[in-house]
Structure 1
Amino acid sequence: MKFGPVSVSRAQGCVAAHAIRLPGYVLRKGARITAADVTALEQGGVREVVVAEMAADDVAEDAAAQRVAAALLGPGLRADPAFTGRANIFADRAGLLLVDRAGVDALNDIDEAVTLATLDEHALVPQGAMAATVKIIPFAAPEDLVARAEALARARGPLVRLAPFEVRRVAAISTLLPGLEPKVVEKTMTVLQRRLAAAGAKLVAERRVPHDERSLVRSLRELALERPEIIIVFGASAITDRRDVIPAALEAAGGEIRRLGMPVDPGNLLLLGDLAGVPVLGAPGCARSPRENGFDWVLNRLLAKLPLSGRDISRMGVGGLLMEIPARPQPRQERDLPRAPSVAAVVLAAGRSTRMGGPNKLLETVQGRPLVRHAVEAALAAGLGEVLVVTGHQRAAVEAALSGLPVRFVPNPSFAEGLSTSLRAGLEALPAKADGALVLLGDMPLVKPALLARLVAAFDPAGGAHVVAPVRDGRRGNPVLWGRRFFPALCAIEGDAGGRHLLAEQTETAREVEADDGALIDVDTPEALAAIRALG
């Protein structure tokens, strides 16, 4: 591949190395230059462009990324179509990511043109979440380089794969002492059930017994007869020694201790044992908190039925210093820590549905629910900080269609003046702490929570990603996540327009996330509504 400046007259068929903006015309970075582009550039007074010129044996960046991704994938993962030289790899189901670290290093050592980045080994990956990404750095890579990367990946077996969660039945015991309030135990069980639900498991049995060895022995033996796949013991008092109540009771019940203590903080005072072939966890105090801690690291591996020995736990020290939990008895010295950006959702649901020829499309029924409810429920399921719904036309009916949902309604009395007024109303109503706004259209029922979660995950103002948009087959769609720096410009838009033109200008600050067709499909006409209903 040749890289450098050429005259515009010779640029046809080459790849543009940089974006060029002219009045009424934009040549995007990475676009293959056509005859029409040459004409537009010449008419705009451009005489020279920097391009990448492919050699006969070069593989275009998207094709190269797709091939390398396909070669290194293991079970439970899939690669989306490559875009801008990047093939993102997603989980087909929830599980833990398994990584051949040496293989990843070897692949990245082949040549600087080929890169593979993954989540950390044993990271919990929800269904639909991104687990890894292959990026081809130049606009093309030589065939022999791509072939070498494929051969290495296939020779080592999958470089990345997903261990699905397999355990379904979990039992828990809480030991009690005077002063331990029942609401603490109730909250602990609620937190545990949420952890299990993320892995598809359920709490099938629960016992509450006095914090003494005899009572705990009896309860352990009784639970073992019910054949759970994991037993978790939450002690009223922390485990401090192998002769303490919980480890002593486990051994007295006929079990064994595999490991007491782990080099993960919070989580140090964890016990891992076994009773009649059933793993037993003595939970550290931090397991009562929903925040990530060492208990999660061990529990998740057990839920995925991965081998776990005392030696495995002793190897968790690097990276084992986790975020602070405020409730711990002796907090670490406080300091300012970086936080994840706060993102709120703004659902635009104020329009008059003029192209529908009469009825308010947002109130039409799709799959048994009002159309507008689909977008709002997707935003809620994505776990965003707050969901605001801007209403206007038939405000009362739209709000009634969303009854029971934990959203905040923002009335827009100027809705008849166009989309821009609803966008402005929603942005101005955002909480001050919101770093970004995910702007959804109320007439897009096929947008899924997994896509919204990926957009939020890609939003990184500190790293330069101030706006994130979904892309399907090279076309940008909706919803778009805007960083706060764009709020003034968005609020200045007038008429029946949104942020499309502003987005088109963002070549350096925008990040794109591959999406399915749902990011491009809205319901504007009776025909579009019929097509959506036909999908079932």
Structure 2
Amino acid sequence: MKVLPVREAVGTVLCHDVTQIIPGKFKGRAFKKGHIVREEDIPRLLDIGKEHLYVLDLSDGMVHENEAAVRIAKAAAGSGVTLTEPGEGKVNLIAAHTGLLKINIEALYEINFVDEVMFATLHSNQIVSKGKNIAGTRIIPLVIKDDKIRNIEEICRNNYPIVEVKPIKCCRVGIVTTGSEVYNGRIEDRFGAVIRQKMKELGSEVIGQKFVSDSIEMIVAAINDFLAAGAEVITVTGGMSVDPDDVSPAGIKAAGGDIVTYGAPTLPGAMFMLAYIGNVPILGLPGCVMYYRASIFDLVIARILAGERLTRKDIVHLAHGGLCINCKECRYPDCGFGKGS
């Protein structure tokens, strides 16, 4: 690579993109890599502060920034991910469909420990919409040793995929609503509408809602009815505290639930329960799910609908980032809630 005064560069080929910035109006590519410099380009190049240009003469074992970014992105991208064309040395990774974003975090860190390389992503385990920018990569210098890119490609092969978007499955959902006050008509149920709306937004179908009193036997019967009806997810709403009349945890256990956790390191959502009967997740939902835009329910349901069977370790990992600060204007999921690891 050699440097030429811009006035001597007519007829040469640009070896990198040239960026122009007009504050408040424009930031982007003014001249593309491979452009043949013309006499009429000189004033514009000078106007954007380019008195010298690089003419690249790649020696053996060196890789240009555009090629390097493409190779890194291709090696890292899994299913549900598309790539942009390289621009100004950067390639973005885009969600090909709406789904659950999964990042191999430890491998991502390993990539970024390679000198002269950067790879940044959104937080893992969040729903992303089709077309959303989920990651971006580039090298820092204009050229890089091929050995470093090969090293990153090897990291990606050993930990594939680094970035993927899992499709969300359409599930049949049953709602068991507990509480004598609702069962006897003393107050109106508010859980059902919230769960129905959230499941609709995720593309799943609520097949029914059963109202039961604070009775272990009634909870067991309602859960069994939904299992017989083919429910693939069952929520048990209310009755999750330590009050004597709150028997939802006991009802879930009595129905045969294999308890993963009773309690979660999240606020809101500390009194959450997760259990499985066979392959069917049973979610014990505390009252906060009714009142908060985002809660423990939102942190786990997307992963469940993406086919993940959550473990105690998955729930424990919610602790870092598990505190919602109740912003005046909720921006979930574009916030830190539940995004610690």
State the TM bucket, normalised to the shorter chain. 0.7 to 0.9
Residue 281 of structure 1 corresponds to: 283
Structure-2 change in CA distance of 1:31 and 1:230 (3 Å): same
Corresponding pairs, count: 321
**Post-superposition shift, 1:52?**
3.6
Alignment of 1:255-274 (within 5 A): 255-274=257-276
Deviates more, 1:304-313 or 1:142-151: 142-151
Alignment of 1:352-431 (within 5 A): none
Residue 192 of structure 2 corresponds to: 189
**Post-superposition shift, 1:9?**
0.8
Counterpart secondary structure, 1:210: coil
Residue 67 of structure 1 corresponds to: 71
The 4+ residue runs of structure 1 with deviation greater than 6 A are 43-48, 179-183, 337-340
Deviates more, 1:140-149 or 1:245-254: 140-149
* 1:100 aligns to 2:99 (yes or no): no
Structure-2 change in CA distance of 1:43 and 1:90 (3 Å): closer
Q: 1:16·1:52 contact (CA, 8 Å) conserved in 2?
A: no
TM-score, length-scaled by structure 2: 0.80
| Uncovered stretches (5+) of structure 1, i.e. residues with no partner | 326-336, 341-456, 458-536
**Post-superposition shift, 1:250?**
1.5
* 1:85 aligns to 2:89 (yes or no): yes
Q: Partner letter of residue 320 of structure 2?
A: V
Structure-2 change in CA distance of 1:232 and 1:179 (3 Å): closer
**Post-superposition shift, 1:255?**
2.4
Q: 1:96·1:124 contact (CA, 8 Å) conserved in 2?
A: yes
Structure-2 change in CA distance of 1:48 and 1:64 (3 Å): closer
Out of 301, 304, 321, which is 1:302 matched to? 304
Counterpart secondary structure, 1:146: helix
**Post-superposition shift, 1:229?**
0.9
Alignment of 1:502-517 (within 5 A): none
Give aligned-pair identity as a percent: 26
Alignment of 1:32-431 (within 5 A): 32=33, 34-36=36-38, 38-41=39-42, 49-57=51-59, 58-112=62-116, 114-178=117-181, 185=189, 187-235=190-238, 237-240=239-242, 244-289=246-291, 291-324=293-326
Could you tell me how far apart the structure 1 residues matched to 2:44 and 2:317 are?
Answer: 64
Q: Partner letter of residue 68 of structure 1?
A: I
Residue 481 of structure 1 corresponds to: none
Q: 1:17·1:52 contact (CA, 8 Å) conserved in 2?
A: no
Residue 337 of structure 2 corresponds to: none
Comparing both chains, which one has the higher relative contact order based on Cα–Cα distances under 8 Å and sequence gaps of 6 or more? Answer: 2
Could you tell me how far apart the structure 1 residues matched to 2:97 and 2:45 are?
Answer: 50
Could you tell me how far apart the structure 1 residues matched to 2:171 and 2:290 are?
Answer: 21
**Post-superposition shift, 1:295?**
1.4
Residue 463 of structure 1 corresponds to: none
Structure-2 change in CA distance of 1:208 and 1:250 (3 Å): same
Counterpart secondary structure, 2:70: helix
**Post-superposition shift, 1:28?**
4.9
* 1:8 aligns to 2:12 (yes or no): no
TM-score, length-scaled by structure 1: 0.53
Could you tell me how far apart the structure 2 residues matched to 1:124 and 1:252 are?
Answer: 33
Q: 1:18·1:50 contact (CA, 8 Å) conserved in 2?
A: no
Could you tell me how far apart the structure 2 residues matched to 1:265 and 1:305 are?
Answer: 25
Could you tell me how far apart the structure 2 residues matched to 1:171 and 1:312 are?
Answer: 24
Structure-2 change in CA distance of 1:188 and 1:127 (3 Å): farther
Could you tell me how far apart the structure 2 residues matched to 1:77 and 1:272 are?
Answer: 31
| Uncovered stretches (5+) of structure 2, i.e. residues with no partner | 335-341
**Post-superposition shift, 1:147?**
3.1
Q: Partner letter of residue 306 of structure 2?
A: A
Q: Cα RMSD over matched residues? A: 3.4
